[in-house]
Every structure is written in C-alpha cells, then in structure tokens.
Amino acid sequence: MSKKGKIELKNINKYYGKVKVLDDVNLEIKPNEFFAFLGPSGCGKTTTLRILAGLEELDKGKILFDDLDITNTSPGSRDIAMVFQSYALYPHMTVFENIAFPLKMDNKVAKNKISDLVKQSASKVKIEHLLDRKPGQLSGGQQQRVALARAVVRQPKIFLLDEPLSNLDAKLRLETRVELKNLQKSLNVTTVYVTHDQEEAMTLANRMAVFLEGKIMQVGTPTEIFNNPKTLQVASFIGNPPMNLLEGEIMNNQLTISGVKIKNYEIKKDNFKKIIVGIRPGELNISNEGIPAKIYLIEQLGDSTIMNLIINDKIVKLKSTENKNFKENSQVFVNINSDKIYLFDPETGLRI
C-alpha cells in the first residue's frame, strides 16, 4: 500500500520574543504534491518548513500528517526527510557513508540491505561513481546530489527542501531543477520546497503558497497566481519583471491614467477618485498616442528588451520582443492591452 503524505497546518502562530513571525497560517498540501513556499527573506516560509520538520516549536496551532496530529511528535518520528540549503554533509565521511548514515541510525533497516539501498539512491541522482569520495572532493552540484540521495534513501512519506539549489551557479541550477522535478515524479512523494526564486517555484510546483510578512497571501497553481493575483502585494511580487502599479481613476465607467482614457475598457463599478491599475510589462506597447512617458533606461536581454519608462514620476517597465530603435531620454506614448488590466482598491489592497 502506497504512502499518502497529506499535510495540514491549522492556525499556526510563532513568536520570536514579542515578534510574531507566523500569523494564523492555514494550509492543506495534497498527497504526492510538489508544493512550494514562495516569498522574500524573512517572510516566514523557512520557519514554517522547520515547524513541519519538528525543528521549531509552534506557539499555537496544529500540524496533521494524514489526519494524525503530530504537533508534539519528535522529528525522528515524523517520517520526513529534509534537505538543507547548506547540504549538512559530514566532511569526514565518504559519500557512501553520508547516504547510509540515516539507515544506520534506523534499527528497522537490516544491515545487509543498507549497501543496496545506498547504491539505488545514488543511482537515482546520478552519483553512483562518487561513493568513495568525501564531500571536500566534490563540486557544489555533486554535494547537493549527495544530500538528495541521503533524503531519498530513507524512503520517507514527505520531503522538505529548504532552498536546495541556491548555492549552485545559474546553469547548474537550471539543469538540477529539471532533474529534481523528475525525481519527485518518479518517487511519487509529497514534497515541500522553500524558495525566494519565483521562477523555481513556478516551474517546479503543482501548487504554491505566497508568503509575505508571516502570512500566506494566496494559494494556487503557478498559473492561477500569476493570472489572478488577489492582492496588491501578490501582484507586485509575482512576475519577472513584476507587475507595474499605476494610479488611475474611474469616472462614468471609464478608466483613466494620467488623465488619458484607456481605449476599449469599460467597467461597471462605482466611481473611484483613485484606483491602482496593475499592468504586466508585456501588456504595454509604444504607440503614436496614449499615456505620455519618457524612456529612462533600455535593457537589452537578447531575445527581449525591457524599457524603463517614467510615467507620473514613477518607473514603469515595458517588455517587448521587438527590436526597435528607441533612444533613452526620448518622449513617447504608451498604450495598454485593455484585456489584461488588473484593478486594486488602494485602501484595502484587494483585487476589484
């Protein structure tokens, strides 16, 4: 019978002294799901992961694994394996010994099976040829694979990964990301992945939670959160470059920005003296008429161009795949794709 691996967090609160670092966190993670905790540094995502692992005590709330309350259960009894950002390998042990270590600590594993289990785990992450080496003889990418193999060998119900790719260079990070996703699929195990890198979260996760200031702001698939951000905070965080936020007004069902009416856009809403208008950088284009702007800086990215525009003393980013000869400090007009406009209440920050 296969393991399940359902996780529930109920009203999780955590304080460091008088500082509240987690504020009523509620979440359900499905069995065998690849789930990401995404957010900037200090938002509470790693603290939540450590609470799941039993490495941090919570001040209020419950943790359930497959409907069983494990809030006060020791880390070793939770049937989890964790991969740390630092890899946490034993430098005096060989790769084989590092991978075998959790099995030797587990009295339930027969000694004559350890060697085969270590070799199988090493093979899954393609380091079977490194078993006689020590961590100091390995590259960062190889050390990261050893840490993964050490987690895999335990055959846990749940994987917890704390920014495991952050120490790798950009090229290796991309390669390892693909392998990590395939590994999770082949193992069919519930995986919780902490990252501040939204590209990692969006490419790896089936679903994700956006953490900001100790709270979960939104939960959904990467596509759902990108296309339908519920708040200003999520909208301004998700996307590369992130969504532009401009002040606008609604009068007589007509939206205006900088006094310019947005063509082909009507909204049946009460009048707002001020409203926040969200526009993705790819939904802006330079035209012969529209919102007046000044080109402040042009960034050439090879396959695309990002123009930093000044509109009402605020920098707005426009992303284009067209290679046109625009010059910095020139005056232009900007049009908006009216089908891709997001409106937010400036007082509550909620999507309208």
3-state secondary structure 23-51: EEEEEEECCCCEEEEECCCCCCHHHHHHH
Q: 65-94, pLDDT tens digit by residue?
A: 999 999 999 998 898 999 888 888 999 999
Instruction: Tell me the C-alpha distance between 129 and 107, whole Å.
Output: 28
192's enclosing H/E stretch is: strand 190-195
Nearest to 217 by CA among 199, 235, 204: 235
pLDDT on residue 272: 62
Residues 6+ apart with CB under 8 A from 216: 25, 26, 27, 209, 210
Cβ pair 245, 342 in contact under 8 A = no
Measured in whole angstroms, how far is the alpha carbon of residue 169 from the centre of its chain? Answer: 18
Task: Spell out the domain ranges in the chain.
Answer: 7-230, 244-344
d(CA 331, CA 315) in angstroms, rounded, equals 14
**Beta strand segments in 7-163, E:** 7-16, 19-29, 34-38, 60-65, 68-69, 80-83, 158-162
- Cα distance between residue 273 and residue 332, in whole Å: 26
Low-confidence ranges of the chain (pLDDT < 70): 1-3, 269-272, 323
pLDDT, tens digit, for every residue of 310-345? 998 899 999 988 767 788 999 999 999 988 999 999
User: Under CATH, to which class is 7-230 assigned?
Assistant: alpha beta
Identify whether the C-beta of residue 279 lies closer than 8 Å to the C-beta of residue 246: yes
Percentage of the chain exceeding pLDDT 70? 98
Please give the Cα distance from 107 to 98 (Å, whole number). Answer: 17
CATH classification of 244-344 is 1.20.120.160, yes or no?
no
What local confidence, expressed as pLDDT, does residue 36 receive? 97
DSSP 8-state secondary structure symbol assigned to residue 198:
H
pTM for the predicted model, two decimal places? 0.89
3-state secondary structure of 213: coil
